Amino acid sequence: MTTQADINREIDQLRGSGGPQPRLDYPPYRSSVLRHPTRDRQLVDPEGVELWAPCFGAADVDDAEADLTIQRAGEPLGERMVVTGRITDGDGRPVRDQLVEIWQANASGRYWHQRDQHPAPLDPNFVGAGRCLTGADGVYSFQTIKPGAYPWRNHVNAWRPAHIHFSLFGTDFTQRLVTQMYFPGDPLFDLDPIYQSITDPKAREMLVASYDHELTTPEYRLGYRWDIVLSGTHRTPLEEQ
């Protein structure tokens, strides 16, 4: 039986102190040592990369890809929501034509992936992946279903807070930013070593979306707003790989 002392001890182990980006080696996140680069960074010539890097434009990304609720014939189960925000550089300038990709678990906390075999139901009408391009004002927008929490085997009784994964490419394919967006007031924050690996509390807050009642559509969907900064001192914390 788990006692309050066990819970308090687990919270103490997950907390730390440090900077605005995740630690490369964060012992409570047991796989961190396996997921980050172990070799020195290599300088890349951006002009050379452009000769073989993939290219995309407005013709390659359909507007419908930003609506994760219409990817199958039926309606997905769960709490319908819209998440939108503005992507800027370190000087506050909007980043236009930015490719934004998201992936997430369904409302029951299960991914549409063969490796996810935990006993939660799959939703045949929800794949959980989408993408869009930002407009001239740097704004992105997705309609989706609020994801559920799910268990993982990092430690005893480990559960991930509800979150959505984001991938952005900055101004070229050598600047990819991968991060996670969380929801306000989640009781699992204190127990999640991935969230806690960003040990600056103010930096962690940058990963949490805010509820926006003006974005909420009566009797249809809730609205959340989450802005992303790609560079500078207020850069959105990344997800260590």
Catalytic residue, chosen from 26, 29, 111, 140, is: 111
Model pLDDT, residue 198: 86
Lowest-confidence pick of 56-70, 120-134, 181-195? 56-70
Lowest mean pLDDT among 31-35, 137-141, 206-210: 31-35
Q: What percent of the chain has pLDDT over 90?
A: 51
**Measuring CA to CA, which residue among 230, 234, 92, 218 is closest to residue 171?**
230
For residue 217, pLDDT beyond 60:
yes
* Mean pLDDT estimate for the chain: 84
Model pLDDT, residue 16? 43
pLDDT recorded at residue 64 = 92
- List, as one string, the DSSP characters of the chain: ---HHHHHHHHHHH-----SS--SS-TTSTTHHHHS--S------HHHHTTTS----GGGS-GGGGBTTSSSSSPPPS-EEEEEEEEE-TTS-B-TT-EEEEE---TTS--SSTT--SSS---TT---EEEEE--TT-EEEEEEEPPPPEE-SSSTT-EEPSEEEEEE-TTSTT--EEEEEE-TT-TTGGG-HHHHTS--HHHHHTTB-EE-TTTPBTTTBEEEE--EE-SSTTPPPP---
Q: Which of 86, 163, 221, 235 is catalytic?
A: 163
Question: Quick check: is 163 catalytic?
Answer: yes
Q: Is 234 a catalytic residue?
A: no
Q: What is the mean pLDDT of residues 44-52?
A: 62
Q: Please indicate whether residue 220 is annotated as part of the active site.
A: no
Query: Has residue 121 got a pLDDT over 80?
Result: yes
Q: pLDDT category, 208, cuts 50, 70, 90?
A: very high
Q: Is 160 a catalytic residue?
A: yes
From the candidates 26, 29, 140, 150, which is the catalytic residue? 150
Annotated catalytic residue within 23, 131, 160, 235: 160
Q: What is the pLDDT of residue 26?
A: 73
- Average pLDDT rounded to a whole number, residues 222-233: 89
Instruction: Name the pTM for this structure.
Output: 0.83
140 versus 199: which is more confidently predicted? 140
**Active site residue: 80, 110, 131, 165, which one?**
165
Average pLDDT estimate for 158-182: 85
- Kindly indicate the confidence band of residue 220, based on its pLDDT and cuts at 50, 70 and 90: very high
Q: What confidence tier does 84 reach under pLDDT thresholds 50, 70, 90?
A: very high
